[in-house]
């Protein structure tokens, strides 16, 4: 079994940021299995476990998913074209870099440009039961188009976080993204992945070992991105309310 870093759970939580600068080096099957085995230990509503995990290594499939991702990203950021032919609304981009921070914005753009080069994409999906109220429970289930509530995400996103923490223990970077999981793009996602109509993709998680310092310098990124770091967050006492909204207190 591949080596795993012995991590305290709190230390792991505090050092699992979005890692978007990833190597193309392959990830062994045994690590993928271990990561997904950790994912499925998460709670599931009434323990139905109507989830599935699509491991994508096929390059043609990754290329197709990357095309969806870039299309959505480009439209949201007023970008036309790709690579050397790219044009953009420079004022809009400048404002976005102020809003999100230049380093963060640049890392997201890097991911968009290199999405298909991640060695593994994992696409978590939900599976809707064939039965509905009033159906004969003894009849053959009917496969219907997915019509689940967005609240179904509560039965899989905890598992996604488990997966990301487990990947962290193996030195593998991950980032959660749902840019390509819109209603508009869902039919194409299903086509690429061969998913039946009673499923719904919930997000995409690119996995890869983080770029080292020299590789980061080549793409103009901070050397700090070569390691698992503590992400900047608004202080907890500023986002915590006690009993009623607006009732806040300083953390001792």
Number of residues that make up the chain: 252
DSSP string, 157-175: HHHHHHHHHHHHHTT-EE-
Residues in contact with 169: Cβ distance below 8 Å, sequence separation at least 6, in sequence order: 4, 5, 7, 12
Taking the CA atoms of residue 152, residue 157, residue 158 and residue 164 in that order, the dihedral angle to the nearest 10 degrees is 160
CA distances from 63 to 13, 77, 92, 120, 134 (A): 31, 21, 28, 12, 43
Residue 6: per-residue pLDDT: 83
Share of the chain above pLDDT 90, in %: 51
Residue 81 binned pLDDT confidence (cut-offs 50, 70, 90): low
**How far apart are the C-alpha atoms of 164 and 178, rounded to whole Å?**
15
User: What is the distance of C-alpha 69 from the center of its chain?
Assistant: 12
Residue 166: per-residue pLDDT: 96
Q: Does residue 30 sit in helix, strand or coil?
A: helix
CA distances from 24 to 118, 192, 208, 213, 235 (A): 6, 21, 7, 15, 35
Residues in contact with 123: Cβ distance below 8 Å, sequence separation at least 6, in sequence order: 53, 54, 56, 65, 189, 193, 201, 203, 204, 205
Mean pLDDT of 231-240: 92
Beta strands in 76-172 (DSSP E): 79-80, 87-88, 120-127
Mean pLDDT of 128-151: 58
Q: Does residue 26 sit in helix, strand or coil?
A: coil
Q: Are strands 87-88 and 51-56 parallel, antiparallel or unpaired?
A: unpaired
Specify the CATH number of the domain 9-129+143-239.
3.40.109.10
Span 169-196, pLDDT tens digits: 999 999 999 988 888 899 999 999 999 8
CA distances from 114 to 9, 108, 122, 240 (A): 31, 10, 16, 37
Residue 151: per-residue pLDDT: 62
Span 55-75, pLDDT tens digits: 999 999 999 999 999 888 877
pTM exceeds 0.75 for this model: yes
């Amino acid at each position: 079994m591949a080596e795993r870093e012995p991590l305290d759970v709190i230390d792991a939580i505090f050092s699992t940021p979005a890692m978007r600068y990833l190597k193309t080096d392959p990830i062994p099957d045994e690590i993928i299995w271990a990561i997904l085995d950790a994912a499925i230990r998460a709670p599931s509503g009434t323990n139905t476990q109507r989830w599935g995990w699509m491991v994508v290594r096929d390059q043609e499939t990754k290329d197709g998913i990357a095309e969806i991702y870039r299309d959505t990203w480009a439209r949201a950021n007023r970008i036309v074209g790709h690579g050397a032919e790219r044009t953009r609304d420079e004022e809009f981009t400048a404002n976005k870099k102020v809003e999100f921070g230049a380093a963060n914005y640049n890392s997201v753009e890097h991911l968009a440009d290199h999405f298909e080069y991640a060695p593994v994409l994992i696409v978590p999906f939900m599976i809707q039961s064939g039965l509905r109220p009033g159906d004969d429970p003894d009849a053959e289930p009917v496969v219907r188009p997915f019509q689940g509530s967005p609240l179904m995400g509560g039965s899989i996103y905890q598992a996604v976080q488990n997966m990301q923490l487990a990947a962290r223990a193996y030195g593998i970077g991950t980032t959660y993204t749902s840019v390509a999981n819109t209603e508009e793009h869902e039919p194409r996602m299903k086509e690429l992945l061969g998913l039946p109509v009673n499923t719904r993709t919930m997000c995409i998680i690119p996995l890869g070992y983080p770029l080292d310092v020299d590789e980061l310098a080549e793409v103009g990124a901070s050397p700090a991105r070569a390691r698992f770091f503590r992400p900047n967050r608004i202080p907890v006492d500023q986002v915590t309310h006690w009993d009623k909204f607006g009732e806040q207190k300083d953390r001792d």
